[in-house]
Chain A
């Protein structure tokens, strides 16, 4: 076997964070190598160094025996390295063919070689079974199709090493299966693939060899045949994973949140087009769906950021509030998906962020003057109760540090803690908790902590609505699963009544608008 890619001692620091620590690794021709690791383990940094987005502090990258110049994506492309990013880099208003050829043609040639390009694209797409219409505008394609265009783009440029960064994050289970089959075809024809993932199942399904990263270090490099999921999990986390918290079997109580045929539109987001849903006390309802089917608008509606244009939206039987402040006053606990953009104010201190939602209540202000001592005490207490960790926490100067310095998991604990500190409304009616992608991008420890809090809230009689793109999370949390598709809730069943395949089909289903 010949090594097509060889990493030697690649090291990269971001400030205090050692993202890659002397990583040496090689990729053989005709092989799928999975880079496995938790979020933040250094996988994306490593491929970004290979592709030339980042410059390594030390170490070298050799492709087909020649050392790549550092920090030069054009050189990496020319050497045959192709990259499919997690977030697509396509122009929506151009066609598939235009997107694929964009940047490959010299500027000074007046006539583009469109016929030749079309023939080449058609040849590549039929060779690998990547069917897309060359003249379809990219804006009209589904997410799975767009990913195919990204892959075609890399192949069109002559990639012989293809790197895919968390390619299944945006796909339904069926689309993922299809992608895996395509990858098998690639390696059969002599390409090599690096496949980044934090999901054990798909790594075991697709990879020939698995490299596990943990906290920037390469902790395992094993053939798939000689390992197991359990072993990989221990490598990945560095310890045994705590079992999921126990939950009682009990019927849900009174309905807390009720949506009937709700329409809502938000600039730049797919709209809600007649969503109906209910969440009762003592249950967790999870919204499953492929990203971009109206979940973001639903979340913002419940956060008070957008208003319903029609339909009925009720909390404890009364009309839902229409501003963030009123929603907070109504006792809704809110956890947004965008922790840094929406959930926290990075420049303000931890204690200011802890108190910000209720800064005008009598608890934290009198006659327009802040009660800073109360705010600080509240922040300190919250940091303790929710195990928010960082330098100088819980007892040192960390409370005054800007919230931006917290890691994602600890920031999320702070936001969740703030949300759950909102008092339950009058006469113990049960709170509504709305959590949008509550564990997106978090490590296993933080995920477990946040899931435990949500389940504890359910046990205490709260009504919990979780919106998630992570099906593992949905099955771990939900009592009932509702599938969202094109702005509607198309089906709701008890979690035990769904299989993964059925859920995937419902998510992918295309209906007439």
Chain B
């Protein structure tokens, strides 16, 4: 069995490949659903209904998608330049912590107007993510330390740091002993996008960020250089691009996006930091970015799809008794299926 490059890719095949991937995903997951003893079509119906079937379901899905868009963009921006930031989870927590530290204290201490505090809070969160990732970027450019290792392992350092902060300096005295931070003042919280739902303006900010990342990649010299470095760093260097500077700039941008994910979660949903505020948004962002083929605009539908699967799986589990883990399986299988489909779009299999 061998792979052969295709000469041309027809439009029909280009559209059909992702649909085929979805079909394969559903077929594989149908086996598991059946195995769990539930009716297949009713279960998928419940999944779809729970994720997208009502006003409540849609707003819940979009609320869930908001941090995923940020972390998905963080991964997409970095991976495009072949800087493999696996540490969005840690950057998210640092962003959240910085947002609360600045947002909860600054206004109270200085008496500045809320607008100023709000901007300071957002900037602080972005900087926290940026600067933390800059360490890994500098290790990579100065000492050739692999960033996959450093960003992955420092996630655990961050979580322990956050744990210490929540049990120590930033502990909310009114939380009855629970390890959680003080809350943001209400005037710094994001307003709701739709009344009587949890969907907040952070979703609109996420959409804005996706458009901004797309524009940066396409229309700026930095975006061009980042794509060039990602595609062929040797040739980019030959062509006069400062590869190290591009990698560091990319890392600053990626870390800022992940930090924003934390700030938006705090300001839009939780209002304080806990150790379980992210069910792995940082890692899921990698899946989002891969599903989106690293395209900033495609990150939005990819994030909504994954959020919908998780939200839908919760209600499917209540309705037909299939464990919620099916959502993890669906997301994982769909990622693999999409990766295989994109390969098959470019290559055909020859059996000889």
Contact = CB atoms under 8 A, between A and B. Distances in A.
A357 interface: yes
A368 B220 CA distance: 6
Interface in A329-347: 334, 336, 341-347
Contacts of A344: 232, 235
Given A15-B5, A341-B232, A359 B352 contact: no
Contacts of A348: 227-228, 231
A70 B5 contact: no
Given A345-B231, A370-B221, A372-B219, A324 B5 contact: no
Contact of B240 (A357, A365, A369): A357
Contacts of A447: none
B303 to A, nearest CB: 25
Contact of B234 (A323, A342, A369): A342
Nearest to B227: A348
Given A352-B224, A368-B220, A341 B234 contact: yes
B214 interface: no
A490 B134 CA distance: 48
B335 to A, nearest CB: 22
A55 interface: yes
A195 interface: no
Interface string A382-409: 0000000000000000000000000000
A346 B232 contact: yes
Contact of B238 (A15, A16, A342): A342
Contacts of B241: 325, 356, 359
Interface in B234-292: 234-242
Given A55-B352, A368-B220, A305 B237 contact: yes
Given A15-B4, A348-B227, A324 B239 contact: yes
B220 A369 contact: yes
B235 A341 contact: yes
Contacts of A341: 232, 234-235
B235 A15 contact: no
A365 B219 CA distance: 10
A418 to B, nearest CB: 9
B2 to A, nearest CB: 8
Contacts of A305: 237-238
A369 B219 contact: yes
Contacts of A343: 235, 238
B238 A324 contact: yes
Contacts of A324: 237-240
Contacts of A444: none
Contacts of B2: 55
A56 to B, nearest CB: 10
B7 interface: yes
B225 interface: yes
A345 B228 contact: yes
A328 B352 contact: no
A154 to B, nearest CB: 26
A303 interface: yes
A55 B4 CA distance: 12
A55 B2 CA distance: 10
Contacts of A424: none
A358 B4 CA distance: 36
Contacts of B4: 14-15
Nearest to A13: B4
Interface residues of B, number: 25
B315 to A, nearest CB: 42
Contacts, number: 80
Nearest to A360: B221
B352 A71 contact: yes
A14 B239 CA distance: 31
B264 to A, nearest CB: 26
A357 B239 contact: yes
A347 B231 contact: yes
Contacts of B7: 15-16
B44 interface: no
Nearest to B5: A15
Contact of A325 (B220, B235, B242): B242
Nearest to A339: B235
Contacts of A327: 240
Contacts of A359: 221, 224-225, 241
A370 B224 contact: yes
A14 B7 CA distance: 9
A171 to B, nearest CB: 29
Contacts of B240: 323-325, 327-328, 356-358, 360
Nearest to B6: A15
Contact of A342 (B220, B225, B235, B242): B235
Contacts of A55: 2, 352
Interface in B1-42: 2, 4-7
Contacts of B221: 359-360, 365, 368-370
Given A14-B5, A15-B5, A325-B242, A368 B235 contact: no
B231 A346 contact: yes
Contacts of B5: 14-15
Nearest to A356: B239
B247 to A, nearest CB: 16
Contacts of A365: 221
A345 B236 contact: yes
B239 A345 contact: yes
Contact of A356 (B228, B234, B352): B228
A335 B280 CA distance: 48
B56 interface: no
A323 B225 CA distance: 16
Nearest to B215: A369
A249 B129 CA distance: 65
A368 B222 contact: yes
Nearest to B225: A359
A240 to B, nearest CB: 32
A348 B230 CA distance: 10
A415 to B, nearest CB: 10
Contacts of A334: 238
A336 B219 contact: no
Contacts of B352: 55, 70-71
Contact of B219 (A71, A303, A370): A370
Given A328-B239, A368-B220, 15 more contacts: A71-B352, A325-B240, A325-B242, A328-B240, A345-B228, A345-B232, A345-B239, A347-B231, A356-B224, A356-B236, A356-B241, A357-B239, A357-B240, A368-B221, A369-B219
14 contacts: A15-B4, A324-B238, A327-B240, A345-B235, A345-B236, A346-B232, A347-B227, A352-B224, A356-B236, A356-B239, A359-B224, A360-B221, A365-B221, A372-B219
The 7 closest A-B pairs by CB, nearest first: A325-B240, A347-B231, A16-B7, A356-B239, A345-B232, A324-B240, A328-B240
Interface of B: 2, 4-7, 219-222, 224-225, 227-228, 231-232, 234-242, 352
